[in-house]
Amino acid sequence: MKYLIKTFLLAACIFVLTVNAQDDNDYVNEPGYADFGTLTSFYKGDDVTEVFLDEHILKMMSKLSGENDPEMKKLLTGLKLVRVYSFEVPKESRLKLKNKIGEIDKKLLNEKWYRIIKIKEKNGYTNVYLKSSADENNVVGLAVVSLDSNGEASFINIVGNINLDNLGRLSDKFNIPMMFNKHHKKKVIKEKK
């Protein structure tokens, strides 16, 4: 019976997600919204992951997790949007995407985002940005832009009041790549030694 209820809730979430239409326009005026522009021209084949959790879905997930998973409820409180685009980029499009990443970097910095991590390798980039509230007391946006040497690109944007202590747990819960996960921390620590 519990399995049936969980399956029904998952189906309901998917239905609401599609009915609420994946529309960024409702969020473009949020201070933590990062405009990545159009990315579909860089997709290769069917190996694409898109996650779009708007405020309604996040609130519903928070309520559903309530007593059963108070940690999840805490993670979701205050979030308005979680967007993830992850896809494989063909070799012939990688230079074009690198240029786009450079444009996104300039745009975010001009919009007063703080670039807190910049990793530039021979054939890859990873930039992590934070956007603070007008009074600079809260984090209201997080953006991650990444292209690895294998041609895997990830664009992540989280909008809302973000508790930095919970970002790693949020990444683990939603299986969001390149977000302060344990593997990434170990890699950075090893490089510092």
Domains of the chain, residue spans: 2-192
What pLDDT shows up at residue 142? 93
Question: Model-level pTM greater than 0.95?
Answer: no
Q: What is d(CA 62, CA 88) in angstroms, rounded to the nearest whole number?
A: 31
Q: How far apart are CA 191 and CA 193, in angstroms?
A: 6
25-35 pLDDT, tens digit each: 678 889 999 99
> Bigger pLDDT: 193 or 13?
13
Packing angle between helix 2-19 and helix 55-65, nearest 10 degrees?
170
Distances (CA, A) of 192 to 163, 165, 184: 26, 22, 13
Pick 188 or 31 by higher pLDDT: 31
Q: Are 97 and 153 in contact (CB under 8 A)?
A: yes
Work out the percent of the chain whose per-residue pLDDT is above 70.
70
Q: Which residue has the higher pLDDT, 60 or 190?
A: 60
The predicted pLDDT at position 137 comes to 82
Length of the chain measured in residues: 193
How, if at all, do strands 152-162 and 79-88 pair?
antiparallel
- Report pLDDT digits (tens) over 120-176: 888 788 999 999 988 888 899 999 999 998 889 999 999 998 876 666 666 666 555
- 71-101 pLDDT tens trace: 777 777 888 999 999 999 988 988 899 999 9
